[in-house]
Amino acid sequence: MTRVVAQGTFDILHPGHVHYLRDAKAMGDELHVIVARSVNVTHKEPPVMPDDQRREMVAALKPVDEAHLGHPEDIFVPIERIDPAIIALGYDQHHDEERLQAALADRGLDCEIRRASPLDRDDSDRLLSTGRIIDRVLEERS
């Protein structure tokens, strides 16, 4: 059985998240998703939704076999516990694949790293980021 790990913030779910998780699931037999804790989100605005609610929403999605909250201090702890064969990164996630591969090797983790495919953006009005959803809500409700 090929176990795959996907990870992200998953704040306000949108079609881009669903596409990423479907792609990740197609890479193996079992998909585990690590939902970042708010305290670990430093590369963008902090999540609007609480950690447990974001994990609950991700767990409810069809491609997901199990959803986990990330570790508050060490992002590799859940990866060590899950022991995946593949780590699926989102098409536009900020991770440096070479640095991630080196960090995994330093921890004795032997995982293949793959990128999900981009979502076809044929509809320019499609909201594919949490930031754009929040901006749209603010525009519409102001």
pLDDT one-digit tens code per residue, 13-67: 988 899 999 999 999 999 999 999 999 988 888 899 999 999 999 999 999 999 9
Spell out the domains of the chain, with CATH numbers in brackets. Answer: 3-141 (3.40.50.620)
125, with CB counted inside 10 A (0-12, 13-18, 19+), is exposed
Q: Is 71 annotated as a binding residue?
A: no
Residue 121: the pLDDT is: 65
Strand bridging mode 86-89 / 112-115:
parallel
71-126 residue pLDDT tens: 999 989 999 999 999 999 998 888 889 999 999 999 999 999 999 998 776 656 67
Nearest alpha carbon to residue 82 among 31, 140, 21? 31
Strand bridging mode 86-89 / 66-69:
unpaired
Q: Is 92 annotated as a binding residue?
A: yes
d(CA 32, CA 14): 19
Q: Is 19 annotated as a binding residue?
A: no
User: What 3-state class would DSSP assign to 97?
Assistant: helix
pTM of the model as a whole: 0.90
d(CA 5, CA 75): 12
Residue 51: the pLDDT is: 96
Q: Is 17 annotated as a binding residue?
A: yes
CB distance 4 to 61 below 8 Å: no
Please name the residues in contact with 116: beta carbons below 8 A apart, sequence gap of 6 or more: 6, 19, 20, 23, 24, 88, 89, 90, 91
DSSP, residue by residue, 68-95: EEPPSS-THHHHHHH--SEEEEPTT---
Residue 127: the pLDDT is: 67
Q: Is 74 annotated as a binding residue?
A: no
